[in-house]
Amino acid sequence: MEQLFDLALINSALRVLTPILLAALGGALCSRVGLFNVGLEGFMLLGAFSAVVGNYFFGNVFYAILFAIAIVSIFSFIFAYLSINLQANVIVVGIAMNALAAGLTTFSLRAIFDVKGAFYDNTMVGLPKWNIPIIEDIPVLGPILAGLTPLVYLSFLIAGLMWYYFYRTKSGFRFLAAGENPLAAKSVGIRVRRYQYGAVLASGVLCALAGAQLSLGQVTMFTEGMTAGRGFIALVATMLGQSGPLGVTAASLLFGFMDALSIRFQGLALPTHFTQMLPYVVTILAMFFFKNKSFQQDALKQGSSSR
């Protein structure tokens, strides 16, 4: 047991939870305005790929992330236009987005780099890994926070900012109202569509960051389908956290810890199949403790939706 649980485990949990947390916050934004964003997985994959592409061509991490944000924003805009303006079924659009992301990244991997499966180049620079001078020497905190990328800190900062936005600002209050009852919100002059667009675009940006952490954080490479269901786990974290920033953070912590634990188990003699199953099984189990809204309420809400 001692080799299983130590401070390094918390450290690696923080690393792996970051993509999940970022995507889950994006999902929370979307679900708060009544759009159930199944496309998180695809957005994240696109983000991971375009971050590597940007990194390869610009040779600069900052530009790489900006490039990733730009690319994913285009796709999230398409998502928003189809589901808000053209009234397409959000779930269908999300599924199609995931398929498009999978096809497009594999295709581009061949077309741009002429490789199949994975791309790695040693001229690429990964995200910087920070060792903060004073904290580094503090006994417990030091090893926990050792060598984390700036995106890890940023994800928690965004969660905090989102909490402040939702519950302490006028605009955030309108945002929540637009999702809670679009018809009523519209009747008092809130521009519902504007908030919906904002939510989808913001979730795109967050997923781009999540993807960048995946492909430039721990390792500096891209492999086909490297998100491996993290977008869906993020979706569960969104639901589990009741789409509130703090709840989502707590749920992501749980999944990040499970992910880290499953990596740790691989060091033992267990078959890797079962250790890889762990995050998914725990996610399903976690859903038992969160009661989803009844389908009747969903149906009623759909009837009153003004989208």
Partner 1 sequence: MNKWTKLTLPLLQPIAAIMVGLLAGAIAIMIAGGDILETYAEMWKGAFGGMYFFTNTLSRATPIILIGLGAAFAFRAGFFNLGAEGQMVFGALSAALVGLYMPGPGWLVCIVAIIAGIVAGGLWSVMAGYFDARFRVNLLISTLLLNYVAVLFAGYLVAYPLKDRSGSAAMAQSEMLDNSVWLPKLISGMPLHVGFVLAVLAALIIFVLLKRSVIGYEVRMLGGNPLFALFGGVKRGPMMLGAMFFSGGLAGLGGAVEILGSQYRYIDGALSTADYAWTGIMAALLAGSHPIGTLIASIFLAALQTGGMGVERNTEVPLEVGAIIQAVLILFISARFTYSFLKRRKGNKSDGTAV
| Site residues for partner 1 per CB under 8 A | 38, 78, 82, 86-89, 91-93, 95-97, 99-100, 102-104, 106-107, 110-111, 183, 186-187, 229, 232-233, 235-236, 239, 271, 273-274, 276-277, 280-281, 283-284, 287-288, 291-292, 294-296, 299-300, 303-304, 306
Question: Least distance in Å: CB of 36 to partner 1?
Answer: 8
Minimum Å gap between C-beta 239 and partner 1 is: 7
Please check whether residue 252 is in contact with residue 234, taking contact to mean a CB–CB distance below 8 angstroms.
yes
Q: Of 170 and 293, which has the nearer Cβ to partner 1?
A: 293
Closest separation in Å from C-beta 245 to partner 1:
20
C-beta closer to partner 1: residue 100 or 250: 100
User: Quick one: 15 or 230, whose CB is closer to partner 1?
Assistant: 230
Gap between the Cα atoms of 235 and 36, Å rounded? 9
Q: How far is the CB of 305 from partner 1 (least distance, A)?
A: 9
Smallest gap from residue 291 Cβ to partner 1 (A): 5
Q: Which long-range contacts (CB under 8 A, 24 or more apart) does 249-255 make?
A: 249/21, 249/156, 249/159, 251/24, 251/286, 252/17, 252/20, 252/21, 252/24, 253/13, 253/17, 253/21, 254/282, 254/286, 255/17, 255/20, 255/279, 255/282, 255/283
- Shortest spacing between CB 211 and partner 1, in angstroms: 18
For partner 1, the closer CB: 112 or 154? 112
Q: Quote the least distance from Cβ 294 to partner 1, whole Å.
A: 7
Q: Which residue, 123 or 294, is less far from partner 1 as judged by CB? A: 294
Q: Pseudo-torsion of CA 261, 262, 268, 271, nearest 10°?
A: 160
246, 163 Cβ separation under 8 angstroms: yes
Specify the residue, 102 or 132, whose C-beta has the smaller distance to partner 1.
Answer: 102
> CB 306 → partner 1: shortest distance, Å?
6
Q: Which CB, 25 or 90, lies closer to partner 1?
A: 90
Q: Output 158 or 222, the one with its CB closest to partner 1.
A: 222
